[in-house]
Structure 1
Amino acid sequence: MARNSTDTKEKLLDAFDILLDKQGISGATLDAVAAKAGVSKGGLLYHYGSKAELIKGSLERLDRLVDEDVESMKAAGERLHLYYLETSAEIGTPLDRSLIAASCLAQENDEAKSALRRTREAWFNALNNHLGDADMAMTIQLIGDGMYFNQNFGLSQDEALAHVKNVLARLGL
């Protein structure tokens, strides 16, 4: 049975992103990625010929996942801003893992910084187009950032989203 090349590439990117999160850039070696993905080093090099190509693949996947997320936001219609907030604190998702990986890479990689900038701009543009108010869009985005930060560092409060929704309802949102 032939292996699906796309599945193997995704396994390799998953392994790379996880290693970046757990061990940092220096721990995400080609050998470690191959081992984590259960693929030979030759198999890894067939798909990604270098660490630079792995980085590029990881950042391209982030762009793709953000595009998908923006489409999901738009599909939420009048609830777009609420969808954004409700999903801001999701951890363990492919998008979350990609964001963490890009954040690790951004410490040393300008392309990762650019990818994170594109991510923020895509979300902001979706919020701004929906709300028609750049100040409100930025406020919603910053609230989402805080919720994401708290969730990732185990500081989240179960009632935080309810408080935010109460305030937004008072503002007519």
Structure 2
Amino acid sequence: MMETMPRKPVARDAVLDAFEAVLIDEGERAATLDAVARRAGVSKGGLLYHFPNKEAMIGALLERLDLLAETEIDAMKSAPEGAAAYFIKSSLWADTPMDRVFVAATRLAEVAHEETRRRFAGIQQQWLDVLAEEIGTDLAKAVRYMGDGLYFNAMFESGHGDAAARRQADVDALLAAVEILRKG
């Protein structure tokens, strides 16, 4: 009798990556089980082996978001240049795993997925807490909004001419503004 080998976690990750990609590229409504299976290159049965329904995929995506956010928050806390400078410098779209899961989860939040909104609120509060430890609550909020603006604009400017040079100039200007506000 042939022993059945458990499926590799790589297949599960490939399905989750496909779900993330469909969310980013096409939005929540397009992220059907069939569309995700197609994107992952697996049968619908193969997808269902790992995720019995869309909510299970959402749960796994939110776990990925939490893990990557925890890593980012730890990096903020230990950044030699300080949490505020790290936050601003890392607020540019770079197509990192964190960028991708963040945007994918944003697509879920757009359709009022409550658990996603709750997770985002928790992550944003953690960012604020780390920033506030370093620069105080009011300046922490300003830095978060600076980072949000950089991130939003960088997502839409990528690949357009000298966008990278402009973004770096923006980062430098915002870092200088934070220093002025700190001393103020």
- With structure 1 as the length reference, what TM-score do the two structures score? 0.90
Q: 1:140 to 1:4 in 2, by over 3 A?
A: farther
Instruction: Note if 1:72 corresponds to 2:72.
Output: no
Instruction: Note if 1:89 corresponds to 2:99.
Output: no
* 1:103-153 deviation per Cα after TM superposition (whole angstroms, max 9, x unaligned): 11111311111111112112111111232x100111110100000011112
**Aligned residue in 2 for 1:115:** 119
Q: 1:172 to 1:135 in 2, by over 3 A?
A: closer
CA distance in 1, matches of 2:24, 2:177: 34
Higher-Rg member (1/2): 2
**Sequence identity percentage:** 35
- Report the Cα offset of residue 39 of structure 1: 2.3
Instruction: Note if 1:162 corresponds to 2:172.
Output: yes
Instruction: Note if 1:29 corresponds to 2:32.
Output: yes
Preserved CA contact (<8 Å) 2:108 2:116: yes
Structure 1: any 5+ residue segments left out of the alignment? Answer: none
CA distance in 1, matches of 2:47, 2:24: 19
- Report the Cα offset of residue 33 of structure 1: 0.9
* 1:68-104 deviation per Cα after TM superposition (whole angstroms, max 9, x unaligned): 1101111214522111110111331111111111111
SS in 1 for 2:157: coil
- Report the Cα offset of residue 4 of structure 1: 6.4
**Aligned residue in 1 for 2:60:** 57
Preserved CA contact (<8 Å) 2:28 2:107: yes
Q: Root-mean-square deviation (CA), in Å? A: 1.9
Preserved CA contact (<8 Å) 1:80 1:127: yes
Instruction: Note if 1:105 corresponds to 2:108.
Output: yes
Amino acid at match of 1:115: R
Amino acid at match of 1:119: I
Structure 2: any 5+ residue segments left out of the alignment? Answer: none
SS in 1 for 2:176: helix
CA distance in 2, matches of 1:54, 1:124: 28
Amino acid at match of 1:91: A
